Amino acid sequence: MLYVITGPPAAGKSSWIDARATARDIVIDLDRITQALTGPGAPAWNQDPVAIKVAHRARYAAIDEAVKHVGQVDVYLIHTMPSAKWLARYQRHGAEIVTVDPGRDIVLQRVRDMRSPALLAVATRWYAQQSKRRQIGKATGRQASRHW
């Protein structure tokens, strides 16, 4: 099964996966990939532009290969804000989309306490996007996605 885990920075997406994935499963997490590609002492949430660019390329390659194996292993993929194009791609692979969101106040406090201040903008953008999706959902009669 392919699980696509969405949610704002510091929401607990990695913790959600850690509570469910087994050692045999594939976990594609940009933070883990970036850390694996950087030298000793690099911060866990490294936002260096070069490191992120290289990690994104590795992530895309990992996604392309992992979706070929969803019948053999579970694949857990963190994608904070997937576009409609990415969501459609994931859905073609039968993905279960899971949103992890403990709430705006908790997320913003966690970012302030533990993460780069630059991630405040990402969290704010994530909540603005969710607000727009809820408005569209109300206008078209679709149900809002579930909250974890």
DSSP string, 15-54: HHHHTT--TTSEEE-HHHHHHHHS-TT--TT---HHHHHH
So what's the pLDDT on residue 23? Answer: 96
What pLDDT, on a 0 to 100 scale, did the predictor assign at position 145?
43
51-87 confidence digits (pLDDT tens): 999 999 999 999 999 999 999 999 999 999 999 999 9
Is 123 within 8 Å of 107 (Cβ atoms)? yes
Q: Which amino acid is at 133?
A: R
Quick one: CA torsion of 19, 69, 32, 79, rounded to 10 degrees?
-80
Give the model's pLDDT for residue 134: 67
Write down the pLDDT at residue 118. 80
What is the pLDDT, as a whole number, of residue 140? 39
Rounded CA separation 51/7 (Å): 22
Query: H or E segment at 4?
Result: strand 2-6
| pLDDT at 42 (0 to 100) | 84
How many Å apart are CA 116 and CA 101, to the nearest integer? Answer: 19
pTM: 0.84
Residue 38: CA count within 13 A, CB half-sphere: 21
Residues in the chain where the model's pLDDT stays below 50: 137-148
